[in-house]
Amino acid sequence: FEIQLKSTVSWNGGGNGTFLILNKSDSILKDWEIIIKSINFKIDSIWNFLLKKIDNNTYSIKPQSWTEYIQPNQSISSGFSYN
């Protein structure tokens, strides 16, 4: 799979962005978890996924019930806020 994380709007000290997961395989992606280590920002909140802070700069991102399955060659996305 492929992950895209990008800022869409920023202001002094924070902003909003988009988070996209693309399933490039021939199989359904399920029971997934993504670990993100951020260096230059902290994720405050995310929509469509469950966010858990592991430590100061590391986050676990898991699906909500409606984003649990990612079909082959399909993607799901979410907005997020950061500071």
pLDDT tens, position by position, 33-82: 999 998 888 999 999 999 999 998 899 999 999 999 999 999 999 999 99
Any idea what DSSP says for residue 57?
Answer: T
Compute the chain's Rg from CA coordinates.
Answer: 13
Residue keyed to tokens 């996209």: 20
Predicted confidence at residue 38, as pLDDT, reads 87
In three-state secondary structure terms, 74 is: coil
Instruction: Answer yes or no: is pLDDT of 29 > 90.
Output: yes
What's the pLDDT at 10?
Answer: 93
Which of these, 22, 33, 18, lies nearest to 68 by C-alpha position?
33
Cβ–Cβ under 8 Å, residues 12 and 41:
no
| Across 18-27, average pLDDT | 96
